[in-house]
A and B are shown apart, each in its own frame.
Chain A
């Protein structure tokens, strides 16, 4: 046992809260030894163990990389605040969950970028690992820090911290990069030589330090171009076309402690046919691909045998768009009939197909039905491309109540362009209607949880040009909804609201450029981390960091962009910019009519 192992056992685990999350050794864990020429990869998740263990993407990459010969992937998560303090006090470096190897000793550290408020956690992990923050200042013996994940296509605020970023689907792309890395390592290529070679070899690899930009007097981008010959001006997205044959973890790790989604997760579809105007994922995941029913049932069954989970969750951006959802649910129901395994369908969109589903989904648990309505008024839903009618919604809910469902969760958004007072108050009216609807089949109204979030205009979407509404606008909407809800009698409605300051910061970093890396670093030095956790988030800290660096957050959050403006994500393959702008114009026209 080396000194680090001893310190973790004697000085770390006995004093941190919920030590079970740091011990590793989970059932289905992979332990491998590699040769000197092999490649060691640490897959990092910039949030807690409980959230990271629920993340299907990381599980897929863990499986894909560990399937490679002479390559090992281990995991690392963000230690919670108390654990981070202990690590600093006791001089314990960030370690991998499997072998407790210092992260700094790995060849590659891969970090998934899930959302903008996790950016400071990237710095937190690098800091605890003793890895230099800025990629162009890293030493030869430090790991290659690779980024990827959902917001990699708008990663400019954190671009300086990554040696390279892989765009798009990772299960084939990351192993390909690792394989190329292995050859370069064997040939004793320098860090710079490796990065040049990888950027040239793969169209989906973005090496930020090989691109430079400058700014106009008004703060907008003047140009953005590669500094190395042979590099593309636009990075393409890697795509896995055949989901049936794509790598999938049928023996996923079983979390030692309770995780956010303690269940089997099967991705039934990738991409989204809806293209709702606000949705970043819908516009950036590429062509719609689905898994066959046979494959889904096979994967779910294998995963059940290897884990013993009691719920199968069907994941996709819009599960109700699965070509034959009713048949899939029926097949799964029959497969798991005597196993006390429930079927869970998150991300449901309300349409005619969905009407049949609630009655079929049953099992050990009939949890609440979750529906993404987004906008309460039909006018706004039509404008943003949300193909949901009130009739479909009412019919679906009636079916659900008849099938025994008692709870429903509805997602709404406030802050759309052209939004009226009527649109906002419609949230409460629609929620009330849905709650009272249950009285038609039962004695009590349904309990409805309405989660209201504030629109964050996202890059690569038709709303990429619009300003975000001000925090005051959101607070006023919140006040009015709460006030109106107090007048209601005889219904069970819970309104929940997102944090307005957090949404504003999201808007800043979602459409930010490289100048924001200084803000992130300053905010981190001032103590910012776990910013998506209410108990950790401190908006004033960020405001101070903006001020220190002479940056106005309103420039990023609440500024209307021009049609010809070079956007900080133009070089990262998303959608067709011209098409998106035309759609934006069409939406505005619809809302003005």
Chain B
């Protein structure tokens, strides 16, 4: 891996934080978050990027996927953050990363971001793709009903506990429309609680019978990290 000689914007002598965007489609969407992490660890290792490792008895690569993806969800623009020991030429990534990716995963772009950058997501936009021959009229009625209602609470009980909490979908879903057999839904994300996709689909009675053939995360907005261009 060619090291960069000049000091780059946002990078320091102590290293560089890499923000790398990728998509995950096809059957690869059935990988879990943990499996996706393991996949990236192997990819980073094969590319010989100068990745940082944690200190301690059992060192591990310093990389993260700030917004975990549910099993079965496709994604158009996922973010991977990698801490590097030394700065690198970003242009080389488009050469060395794609050959190391399995079918269904595509490298999009990479950027250098400040080492201490916040990677908290603000919102995510999803597409719920309707199954073939699903009539759109009842779906539109469900969406209209959601918009007209003043409240749409979801009960969530923690596994193994009796505590139950209520999430108000109206506070989180800022946008929901139906167009060309796709429901587009934008969900606000905060650190205390965010409705899961299965909770949204269940609440909107979109799970039985299964009118949704697939779910895709099409965009995520982070506080401080944006996809260049």
In the complex, which of the residues B28, B59, B72 contacts A25, with contact meaning CB atoms closer than 8 Å? B28
Tell whether A309 is near chain B: CB-to-CB under 8 Å.
yes
With A254-B42, A308-B43 in contact, is A9–B34 under 8 Å at CB? no
A446 to chain B, nearest CB (A): 15
Interface size on A (CB < 8 Å)? 28
Interface string of B88-104 (1 = CB under 8 A from A): 00000000000011111
A95 to chain B, nearest CB (A): 13
Q: In this complex, what residue of A is CB-closest to B72?
A: A14
Are A25 and B103 in contact (CB-based, < 8 A)?
yes
Are B45 and A308 in contact (CB-based, < 8 A)?
yes
Tell whether B58 is near chain A: CB-to-CB under 8 Å.
yes
A34 to B34 CA separation, bound complex (whole angstroms)? 36
With A308-B43, A310-B45 in contact, is A10–B213 under 8 Å at CB? yes
Tell whether A18 is near chain B: CB-to-CB under 8 Å.
yes
B213 to chain A, nearest CB (A): 7
Are A26 and B102 in contact (CB-based, < 8 A)?
yes
A10 to B26 CA separation, bound complex (whole angstroms)? 12
Contacts of B171 in A (CB 8 A): none
Tell whether A51 is near chain B: CB-to-CB under 8 Å.
no
Interface residues in B33-88 by Cβ distance below 8 A to A read 34-35, 38-39, 41-46, 53, 57-59, 71-72
Tell whether B30 is near chain A: CB-to-CB under 8 Å.
yes
Tell whether B178 is near chain A: CB-to-CB under 8 Å.
no
Are A340 and B28 in contact (CB-based, < 8 A)?
no
Tell whether B144 is near chain A: CB-to-CB under 8 Å.
no
Interface residues in A348-365 by Cβ distance below 8 A to B read 364-365
In the complex, which of the residues A25, A27, A307, A365 contacts B58, with contact meaning CB atoms closer than 8 Å? A365
In the complex, which of the residues B30, B34, B38, B39 contacts A23, with contact meaning CB atoms closer than 8 Å? B30
Tell whether A130 is near chain B: CB-to-CB under 8 Å.
no
In the complex, which of the residues B27, B39, B53, B102 contacts A9, with contact meaning CB atoms closer than 8 Å? B27
A157 to chain B, nearest CB (A): 37
Contacts of A340 in B (CB 8 A): 53, 59
A13 to B74 CA separation, bound complex (whole angstroms)? 13
Tell whether B181 is near chain A: CB-to-CB under 8 Å.
no
Contacts of A257 in B (CB 8 A): 31-32, 35
A456 to chain B, nearest CB (A): 35
Q: In this complex, what residue of B is CB-closest to A367?
A: B58
Contacts of B101 in A (CB 8 A): 27
Q: In this complex, what residue of A is CB-closest to B47?
A: A308
Q: In this complex, what residue of A is CB-closest to B44?
A: A308
A224 to chain B, nearest CB (A): 48
Are B42 and A308 in contact (CB-based, < 8 A)?
yes
With A257-B32, A258-B35 in contact, is A20–B42 under 8 Å at CB? no
Are B46 and A305 in contact (CB-based, < 8 A)?
yes
Interface string of A280-302 (1 = CB under 8 A from B): 00000000000000000000000
A307 to B47 CA separation, bound complex (whole angstroms)? 10
Interface string of A17-61 (1 = CB under 8 A from B): 011101111110000000000000000000000000000000000
Q: In this complex, what residue of A is CB-closest to B131?
A: A10
B22 to chain A, nearest CB (A): 14
Tell whether A500 is near chain B: CB-to-CB under 8 Å.
no
With A19-B72, A256-B35 in contact, is A308–B46 under 8 Å at CB? yes
Q: In this complex, what residue of B is CB-closest to A23?
A: B27
In the complex, which of the residues B42, B46, B71, B103 contacts A19, with contact meaning CB atoms closer than 8 Å? B71
In the complex, which of the residues A20, A27, A309, A310 contacts B32, with contact meaning CB atoms closer than 8 Å? A20
Tell whether A306 is near chain B: CB-to-CB under 8 Å.
yes
Contacts of B35 in A (CB 8 A): 20, 256-258
Contacts of B30 in A (CB 8 A): 13, 19-20, 22-23
Contacts of A305 in B (CB 8 A): 46
With A25-B104, A258-B38, A308-B42 in contact, is A18–B53 under 8 Å at CB? no
Q: In this complex, what residue of A is CB-closest to B42?
A: A308
In the complex, which of the residues B31, B42, B44, B72 contacts A307, with contact meaning CB atoms closer than 8 Å? B42
Are B72 and A23 in contact (CB-based, < 8 A)?
no
Contacts of A26 in B (CB 8 A): 102
Are B45 and A256 in contact (CB-based, < 8 A)?
no
Contacts of B102 in A (CB 8 A): 25-27
Q: In this complex, what residue of B is CB-closest to A310?
A: B45
Q: In this complex, what residue of A is CB-closest to B59?
A: A364
A9 to B25 CA separation, bound complex (whole angstroms)? 12
Instruction: Give the interface centre of B27, B32, B72 by most chain A CB atoms within 10 Å.
Output: B27
Contacts of B38 in A (CB 8 A): 258, 262
Instruction: Give the interface centre of B26, B34, B39, B58 by most chain A CB atoms within 10 Å.
Output: B39
With A257-B32, A258-B35 in contact, is A25–B43 under 8 Å at CB? no
Instruction: Give the interface centre of B30, B41, B58 by most chain A CB atoms within 10 Å.
Output: B30
A10 to B212 CA separation, bound complex (whole angstroms)? 10
Contacts of A306 in B (CB 8 A): 46
Interface string of A253-285 (1 = CB under 8 A from B): 010111000100000000000000000000000
Q: In this complex, what residue of B is CB-closest to A9?
A: B27
A232 to chain B, nearest CB (A): 46
A95 to B72 CA separation, bound complex (whole angstroms)? 20
A340 to B213 CA separation, bound complex (whole angstroms)? 43
Are A256 and B43 in contact (CB-based, < 8 A)?
no
With A25-B102, A306-B46, A310-B45 in contact, is A13–B27 under 8 Å at CB? yes
A50 to B161 CA separation, bound complex (whole angstroms)? 31
Are A258 and B213 in contact (CB-based, < 8 A)?
no
A262 to B58 CA separation, bound complex (whole angstroms)? 16
Are B42 and A13 in contact (CB-based, < 8 A)?
no
B98 to chain A, nearest CB (A): 12
A168 to B58 CA separation, bound complex (whole angstroms)? 39
A58 to B177 CA separation, bound complex (whole angstroms)? 50
Are B42 and A309 in contact (CB-based, < 8 A)?
yes
Contacts of B41 in A (CB 8 A): 308, 310
A340 to B53 CA separation, bound complex (whole angstroms)? 9
A254 to B40 CA separation, bound complex (whole angstroms)? 12
Q: In this complex, what residue of B is CB-closest to A404?
A: B57
Q: In this complex, what residue of B is CB-closest to A18?
A: B32
Q: In this complex, what residue of A is CB-closest to B51?
A: A340
Q: In this complex, what residue of B is CB-closest to A304?
A: B45
Contacts of B27 in A (CB 8 A): 9, 13, 23-25
B97 to chain A, nearest CB (A): 12
A26 to B38 CA separation, bound complex (whole angstroms)? 13
Contacts of A10 in B (CB 8 A): 213
With A10-B213, A13-B30, A25-B102 in contact, is A20–B71 under 8 Å at CB? yes
A284 to chain B, nearest CB (A): 35
B108 to chain A, nearest CB (A): 19
A26 to chain B, nearest CB (A): 7
Interface residues in A316-374 by Cβ distance below 8 A to B read 340, 364-366
A578 to B219 CA separation, bound complex (whole angstroms)? 73
Interface string of A432-448 (1 = CB under 8 A from B): 00000000000000000
Question: What 6 A-B pairs are tightest by C-beta distance, nearest first?
Answer: A308-B45, A308-B42, A19-B30, A23-B27, A308-B46, A20-B31
The 10 listed contacts between A and B (C-beta, < 8 Å) are A13-B30, A13-B72, A19-B71, A20-B30, A23-B31, A26-B102, A258-B35, A308-B45, A308-B46, A308-B100
Query: 6 new A-B pairs (CB below 8 Å) besides A18-B32, A25-B27, A257-B31?
Result: A25-B103, A27-B42, A258-B34, A308-B41, A365-B58, A366-B57
